[in-house]
Amino acid sequence: MKRMVEEGAIGTVRLLRATWLSDEFVDPAIPFDWRFDRSMGGTTIADLGSHLIDMATWMAGGIAEVAGQSETFVHERSKRRVTVDEASSALVRFESGARGVFEMARTAVRRPCDFTIEVNGSTGTLVFVYARLNELLYGEGGDDPGLYGMRTIRAEHESHPYARNWWPIGQGVGYGASFVNHLGDLLERWPDGPWEPDFAQGAAVQAVCDAIERSAIERRWVETRGGHRQR
C-alpha cells in the first residue's frame, strides 16, 4: 500500500481514514486491571490509536493539527475509577493539506480486532482490511467505466517482499509470519541500522496522541508538537 502511494498509483493523497475497533471493554463486569489505569496502561488513543497514526504518517506524512473527542462509558470497575477512554476519534490535518479521520474503540460489540485503513487520492483509492490480511483493494480512476469499482490485489506474489520467502501463492502469510518478517528486517540491519521506524518516528506518533488527548479535554483544534515524521 505504501509503495503504491509513493509510486503515484492514487495520485495526490487527499483523504485518509483509519479505524481500530475491538470489544475487549464491552462487558461492564470485566474487573479492574492495569489497562483501566491511565498511569500504567495509557489511553485507548495511545494504545490502539498509535498504530493508526503510525501507519497514516508513514504513508501520508506528518500531521499538523487534530480535533479529538473521547468517552468512557463504564466509569467504575471493581469499585475503582476507570481513568482511560474507552472510545475516541479525531479529525486530522496533515502537513501536506490532506485530511483524515481516526477512530479507536474498545466497546464495539463483536468487533474483536478490526483494523481498516483507506487512502483516497486525486486519481484512485486504496483500502486495507486487517481481517483479510493478504488482500489490498485498489480503485483506479482511469479504468474502463465498464469495470467500475475496486479490484482485489492478492499480496502473495514474490514481487511483494514480505511474501517472497514464504508459501506458494494461495497459502497466505499470517499474523505470526508477520513478526518473523519484522525480526528479519531487524537482523538484516543489525547492529548499525538504519532503523525503520526509529525513536524519532515513535516520538512523532506520541506527539499526535498527546495532541488528540489534549484536544478531547479542551474541545478545540490542537497543533501537534514534534509531530513531523520523516518519509
Q: Kindly tell me if the per-residue pLDDT of 170 is higher than 70.
A: yes
Q: Kindly tell me if the per-residue pLDDT of 228 is higher than 90.
A: no
Q: Kindly tell me if the per-residue pLDDT of 231 is higher than 50.
A: no
Average pLDDT (15-44) is 95
CB crowding 22-50: b at 16 or more within 10 Å, else e: bbbbbeeeeeeeebbeeeeebbbbbbbbb
Tell me, what's the pLDDT at 225?
79
Residue 115 within a domain: yes
pTM score above 0.75: yes
Average pLDDT (84-109) is 98
For residue 21, what are the domain limits?
Answer: 2-155+199-223
3-state DSSP assignment of residue 1? coil
- Return d(Cα 199, Cα 181) in angstroms, integer: 20
Tell me, what's the pLDDT at 84?
96
Average pLDDT (35-41) is 91
Tell me, what's the pLDDT at 32?
96
Query: What is the average pLDDT score of the chain?
Result: 94
Residue 124 within a domain: yes
CB crowding 203-223: b at 16 or more within 10 Å, else e: ebbbbbbbbbbbbbeeeeebe
Percent of the chain with pLDDT over 70: 97
User: Do 94 and 88 touch, CB atoms closer than 8 A?
Assistant: no
Instruction: Place 135 in a pLDDT band, splitting at 50, 70 and 90.
Output: very high
Residue 183 within a domain: no
Residue 139 within a domain: yes
- Return d(Cα 25, Cα 83) in angstroms, integer: 13
CB atoms near residue 8 (< 10 Å): 12
User: Do 36 and 84 touch, CB atoms closer than 8 A?
Assistant: yes
Distances from the Cα of 65 to the Cα of 12, 14, 37, 74, 223, angstroms: 20, 16, 27, 29, 4
Average pLDDT (144-154) is 94
DSSP character at residue 12:
S
Residue 171 within a domain: no
**CATH number of the domain that residue 65 is part of:** 3.30.360.10
Which grid coordinates are listed for 12?
495526490
Residue 91 within a domain: yes
- What is the tens place of the pLDDT at every residue in 175-227? 999 999 999 999 999 999 998 889 999 999 999 999 999 999 999 999 997 65
Tell me, what's the pLDDT at 226?
60
CB atoms near residue 94 (< 10 Å): 21
Tell me, what's the pLDDT at 161?
87
- Return d(Cα 168, Cα 159) in angstroms, integer: 12
- Our count of domains for the chain comes to 1
Tell me, what's the pLDDT at 230?
47
Residue 181 within a domain: no
Tell me, what's the pLDDT at 42?
86
Residue 109 within a domain: yes
